[in-house]
Amino acid sequence: MENAVKLTETAEKKLLETFKEEGKTTDTHHLRVGVASGGCSGLQYYMEIHKKEDRDESDNSTQFNDIEVIVDKQSFFYLLGSQLDFSSGLNGKGFEWSNPNASRSCGCGESFSL
């Protein structure tokens, strides 16, 4: 199955820092990303660090060096071809999604619609 998302080097580096700050390791935990109803545009992104045993057979799994990224079956097609980046520029600091499937997204970049 095709990988739903890609991580930039910058996002990968920041995620590894986040794992460490939370006292978690990539040996025991993975990053779960997906979409849920909500936000100002209808769907919003989410990211959570979960224990590796907390997964479903239908989850899509992609390995980026040390980080395993899990996408649930329902979110897969919403995120297909997306890229997660991290920005620390003048306009703010945080994770940013680039999603080719989004027809519209809100100003903050945390929600979108198809």
Rg of the chain on CA atoms, in Å: 14
What distance lies between CA 111 and its chain's CA centroid? 13
CA dihedral 78, 15, 3, 28 (to 10 degrees): -110
- How many other CB atoms are found less than 10 A from the CB of residue 86? 19
Whole-model pTM?
A: 0.83
Please state the domain extents for the chain.
5-113
**111, two tokens:** 């929600």
Which string of b and e fits 40-51 if b means at least 16 CB within 10 Å?
Answer: ebebbbeeebee
Predicted confidence (pLDDT) per residue in 27-45, tens digit: 999 999 999 887 666 788 8
Evaluate whether the domain defined by 5-113 bears CATH number 2.40.50.140.
no
Predicted confidence (pLDDT) per residue in 55-110, tens digit: 888 999 999 999 999 999 999 999 999 999 998 877 667 898 888 887 766 555 55
